[in-house]
């Protein structure tokens, strides 16, 4: 195999794996060796370092928080798209429709509250799909205290997401109705309209940090195609914590290859990779 400019020894690869596991909970498989060489190789060149060992020593001994963040950013996988795994958004619309019927018209600040979390939001397509879809389906939501929290460990993708601008080509394959929800932004780009941008708050957040900084309960959490990078132990801990941040009967949406089996004590499986928090779970105040 062409190792490019830098060779990665088994020992160096073990050091990279240990560091990214400790920092981000990410378990790198043997198949990720080439990715590590190409992604971290760019950083080595920028820092004018001659080997992966020298880079890891540098991170341990002199690395700034920005250097540590660059290391993690380089090793995340950010693949995503608008309306990915469409059945989740169809389910969400049904649920929010029912919730809008049931929830009292007056919340504590005069408006009923709705909170959704996109955990591991990458470049923003997932939270914007939620915002665009729900605002189109329920025009009344503009009178609600409706917020989507969108977080990711990778600070580069969070910054891109907040800009809300995408290549027009990302709309390929969407229906005409969905494509019409975006605004033209010139130069082959489209923009998320202000009404949808305004309900989403993007923040960097490492899911491994404990406790999370948010206080409140969420009506729904999307944590899709994130836990596939974690080992079973890390997944188990994360799923337990997601259970306690949902309202009783709230929904958790996973990626197609992630599952909780039948759901255990905290959840019941109600659809394809859709879990409902069990009602006996302790209710918590909304944020
Ligand atoms: C493949 S993307 C999934 C994006 C979107 N949820 C979707 O399904 O289309 C996985 C995202 O998880 C993020 N991620 C990985 N480890 C994380 C961690 N410890 N905390 C927060 N985000 C993490 C990555 O940075 C990446 O953007």
Which residues lie with the beta carbon below 6 Å from any ligand 1 atom? 24-26, 76-80, 84, 120-122, 126, 152-154, 157, 206-208, 224-226, 229, 255
CA angle 54, 56, 60 (to 5 degrees): 115
Closest C-alpha to 15, from 48, 77, 59, 50: 59
Q: Which residue has the tokens 């974690």?
A: 230
Measure 206 CA to ligand 1 centroid, in angstroms: 10
Annotated active-site residue 39? The verdict is: yes
Q: Where does CATH 3.40.50.150 sit in the chain?
A: 87-277
In angstroms, the CA 141 to CA 71 distance is 40
Q: Which atom of ligand 1 is nearest to the CA of 154?
A: 25
Measure 143 CA to ligand 1 centroid, in angstroms: 31
CA angle 43, 25, 117 (to 5 degrees): 105
pTM, 2 dp:
0.94
Report how far Cα 192 is from the mean position of its chain's Cα atoms: 18
Question: pLDDT at position 4, please?
Answer: 61
Q: How far is CA 49 from CA 19, 91, 214, 239, in A?
A: 18, 50, 39, 39
Measure 238 CA to ligand 1 centroid, in angstroms: 13
Q: Is the dihedral of CA 206, 207, 210, 212 positive or negative?
A: positive
Q: Which ranges of 103-231 would DSSP assign to H, the alpha helix?
A: 125-137, 155-163, 176-179, 194-197
Q: Which atom of ligand 1 is nearest to the CA of 208?
A: 19
Strands 246-254 and 145-152: unpaired
In angstroms, the CA 179 to CA 129 distance is 11
Measure 57 CA to ligand 1 centroid, in angstroms: 27
CATH number of 87-277: 3.40.50.150
CATH number of 10-75: 1.10.155.10
- Residue of 15, 115, 147, 152 marked active site: 152
- Which 8-state DSSP code applies to residue 32? G
183-186, strands of its sheet edge to edge: 165-167, 189-191, 183-186
Question: pLDDT at position 77, please?
Answer: 96
**Paired strand residues for 221:** 117, 252
Q: Which residue puts its alpha carbon closest to atom 13 of ligand 1?
A: 120
- Which 8-state DSSP code applies to residue 77? -
Annotated active-site residue 285? The verdict is: no
Strands 113-119 and 218-223: parallel
Mean pLDDT by 10 residues, the chain (287 residues): 75 98 97 96 96 98 96 98 97 96 73 96 98 97 96 98 98 97 97 98 98 93 96 91 93 88 80 87 44
157 C-beta neighbours (distance < 10 Å), count: 21
């Amino acid at each position: 195999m062409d190792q490019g400019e830098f060779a990665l020894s088994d020992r160096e690869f073990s050091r990279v794996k240990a560091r990214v596991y400790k920092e981000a909970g990410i378990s790198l498989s043997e198949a990720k060796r080439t990715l590590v060489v190409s992604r971290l190789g760019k950083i080595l060149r920028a820092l004018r370092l001659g080997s992966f060992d020298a880079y890891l020593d540098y991170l341990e001994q002199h690395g700034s928080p920005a250097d540590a963040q660059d290391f993690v950013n380089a090793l995340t996988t950010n693949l995503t798209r608008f309306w990915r795994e469409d059945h989740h958004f169809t389910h969400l619309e049904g649920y929010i429709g029912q919730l809008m019927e049931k929830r009292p018209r007056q919340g504590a600040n005069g408006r009923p509250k709705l909170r959704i979390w996109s955990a591991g939001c990458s470049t923003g397509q997932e939270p914007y799909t939620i915002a665009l879809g729900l605002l189109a389906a329920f025009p009344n939501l503009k009178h609600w205290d409706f917020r989507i929290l969108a977080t990711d460990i990778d600070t580069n993708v969070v910054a891109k997401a907040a800009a809300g601008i995408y290549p027009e080509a990302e709309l390929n394959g969407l229906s005409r109705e969905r494509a019409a929800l975006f605004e033209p932004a010139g130069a082959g780009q489209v923009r998320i309209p202000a009404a949808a941008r305004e309900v989403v708050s993007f923040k960097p957040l490492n899911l491994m940090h404990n406790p999370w900084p948010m206080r409140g309960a969420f009506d729904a959490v999307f944590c899709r195609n994130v836990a596939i990078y974690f080992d079973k132990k890390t997944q188990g801990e994360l799923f337990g914590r997601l259970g306690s941040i949902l309202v009783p009967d709230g929904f958790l949406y996973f990626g197609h290859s992630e599952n909780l089996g039948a759901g255990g004590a905290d959840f019941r499986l109600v659809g394809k990779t859709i879990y409902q928090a069990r009602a006996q779970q302790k209710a918590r105040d909304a944020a």
